[in-house]
Amino acid sequence: MAAPGSSAQNSEPTIKFVRNPDPAPDFKLQTLDGRPLSLSTFSGKVVLLNFWATWCGPCRMEIPDLIELQKQYKNSLQIISLLMDVDDVEDARKFVAGSGFNYPVAVATPEVRMQYGGISALPTLFVLDTQGRIVQKHVGLSDPRLYELETRALLNLAIPFKVETFEDTGEIFLKNADRAKELPGVDLTSLTPDQRIAALHAFNAESCTCGCKLTLAQCRIYDSACRISKERTAKIIVALSAKSPAAPAQGAASGAPGASGSPVASPEKSPLRP
């Protein structure tokens, strides 16, 4: 989601964190080896909260890098591994024991999964600052160097990149989808500025009927492949486009409104099993 890169205005590579981040929901679980696990225990450390599954290829690929990162920053970083879709806990326990994990592993309950937005793909990794706030979220296999750079930045250690902030418009928490000016797979270019506002209001007011129990806006962010929310948002746009906008004042310059913000990217990810 926020790999180091260059912007049009500034060629300096950047690391990006959420501006005014929300606190991460706490939880109380038991690790696979029977120890209590609570997020609040690690206050004061950077936390990488990793949702994964043993059957997920990309999830398994990043395990050695996470083990090495935990070893390197053991005094100031805590990686927490939460397993999803566990069919056999004993099999999961054997896999973890044979993989050399040096950080706690627990099974995510449905409640924890929903607290963190439903987790639509694996792996999904949340980056928490030392105050326990979620500052970034990565969906899919990421370059392990990115995790280290973000860890160092949050620990105020030197990194060869610029640090910038962005507003969460649903990428981290779906509840913030009402801040979004663009949505995946939704083309607002045919609308006037006022119609765009009306459309976004409608997307946030109407529930999707696909069964996700989310608004249309949240569903587009949560599952950009959802056909139902895509078709319904398109119909709302057509209905608004059919309304004749007020004629501009004589002599006023006309032109298409500029896009406010970049479209939400669709990261490469390993889809959850049906």
Residues labelled catalytic: 56, 59
**In the β-sheet with 46-52, what is the strand arrangement from edge to edge?**
105-107, 77-83, 46-52, 124-128, 134-139
> Which residue, 218, 241, 216, is CA-closest to 231?
216
Alpha-carbon torsion angle 194, 170, 121, 153, nearest 10: 130
Whether the CB-CB separation of 47 and 112 falls below 8 Å is answered with no
| C-alpha to C-alpha distance for 36 and 43, rounded to whole angstroms | 15
- CA 78, 109, 19, 131 torsion: positive or negative? negative
- In one letter, which amino acid is 75? N
Whether the CB-CB separation of 83 and 54 falls below 8 Å is answered with yes
Peptide bond into 123 cis (omega under 30): yes
List b or e across 159-172, with b for residues whose CB sees 16 or more CB atoms inside 10 angstroms.
bebeeeebebbbbb
